[in-house]
Amino acid sequence: MGITTKKFGKTYKGEEATLYILENKNGMKAVFSDFGAVLVQLWVPDRDGKLEDVVLGFDTLAEYEKNPTYFGSFIGRCGNRIAGAKFTINGQEYRVENNEKENCLHGGSVSYDKYMYEAETFVEEGAVSVEFSRLSPDMEQGFPGNLDITVTYTLTDENELAIEYLTVSDRDTIVNLTNHSYFNLAGHNSGSVLGQEGMIDADAFTATDKKMIPTGELTDVIGTPMDFRVRKPLSEGIESDYEAIRLGGGYDHNYALNVDGEDAQFVAELYDKKSGRLMEVYTDLPGVQIYSGNFLEAEVGKQGIVYRKRQGICFETQIYPDAINHENFPSPIVKKGQEYKTTTIYKFM
């Protein structure tokens, strides 16, 4: 158990990047870079103790500097979509980058996974952590407020990977942070994830228009292919002629979770029968974006493996997409001087 570091090369700006390798007593390892605060590798034992890297990603820093698919990415200042790339706070309109047609996706083309972070490590009984921090200056990406950001990744001896986000702004602003890792519990190099099984504790999802912008309505999952209240194969319903499935090209939807927002609660799971690996997801956030890698197109990743459509699945815990423009959604506005603090845990068994 412990933390080691390894050089990861230089960015195109000449910045020295480092890999932080966290290992617990069971041999499970999580590897992060201070460039982008990204999750690079996640080695998890199967039922026989054999370790496999279960997240899609790259081998080199240069590839993470591009990373159009957001492998392992720390996403901010506002994850998911903002309609029309504009919003209003306190009567003032702000315009952000329209990097997905006329909408803003994940804060713009330069999300929080494209910056260098200060790093600090901690070793405690039963847990090892790396903390990444930086100041996101006022109007970076078009968002108001100097935002102090800290994201802490903790690996415990219970095979939990906890992600804690903490921010404070000097102006009222939007904050909606998430992690965009693509999971494949059979191993990043094992092909399609559709044979694995998923479960989501949600009775509804946010309906969208053709541009994947929420309409403001919540749609009941009962009697639809969107129903994951009982664990089922990811392949079940993913090619159905259901409107939401057609619009997303598969699963690419925000689920309205059955949570009270007080503490991190169990909200979802992913299971691979072949390896016996089970991942449970816990969060205090109101939503989770389930994305089944519908638009992966021959992306060359680790070890030269070519990642294709649906070879990984994301569980992006979040505030609802475009929440700033829907009064009936949980608000992403964080007031001046107010702490934004949230936790998501991925637990492996």
**How is residue 173 written in tokens?**
């602003």
pLDDT in tens, 59-107: 999 999 999 999 999 999 999 999 999 999 999 999 999 999 899 999 9
Q: Coil, helix or strand for 32?
A: strand
DSSP letter for 139, please.
Answer: T
* Closest C-alpha to 166, from 131, 142, 141, 138: 131
What is the C-alpha R_g of the chain? 19
* Closest C-alpha to 29, from 63, 65, 59, 54: 54
How much is the pLDDT for 172? Answer: 98
pLDDT surpasses 90 at 262? no
Estimate to the nearest angstrom the gap between the alpha carbon of 343 and the chain centroid. Answer: 12
pLDDT surpasses 90 at 271? yes
> Do 295 and 248 contact (CB within 8 A), yes or no?
no
For residues 346 and 178, give the distance between their C-alpha atoms in angstroms, rounded to a whole number: 13
- Residues annotated as part of the active site: 180, 316
The residue behind tokens 């007080």 is: 262
**How is residue 199 written in tokens?**
């479960």
Q: Coil, helix or strand for 202?
A: strand
* Closest C-alpha to 6, from 23, 27, 28, 25: 23
304-to-60, 67, 232, 253, 327 alpha-carbon distances in Å:
11, 15, 31, 30, 46
DSSP letter for 159, please.
Answer: S
For residues 22 and 33, give the distance between their C-alpha atoms in angstroms, rounded to a whole number: 11
How much is the pLDDT for 1? Answer: 81
> Do 290 and 315 contact (CB within 8 A), yes or no?
yes
Share of the chain above pLDDT 90, in %: 99
**DSSP letter string, 134-146:** EEE-TTGGG--S-
* Cβ contacts of 7 within 8 Å, gap of 6 or more: 16, 17, 18, 19
pLDDT surpasses 90 at 240? yes
H or E element that contains 156? strand 147-156
How much is the pLDDT for 261? Answer: 80
Estimate to the nearest angstrom the gap between the alpha carbon of 170 and the chain centroid. Answer: 26
The residue behind tokens 């102090």 is: 148
For residues 237 and 226, give the distance between their C-alpha atoms in angstroms, rounded to a whole number: 8
Q: Coil, helix or strand for 184?
A: coil
pLDDT in tens, 32-57: 999 999 999 999 999 999 999 999 99
Average pLDDT score, the chain: 97
Question: What would the mean pLDDT of 145-166 be, rounded to a whole number?
Answer: 98
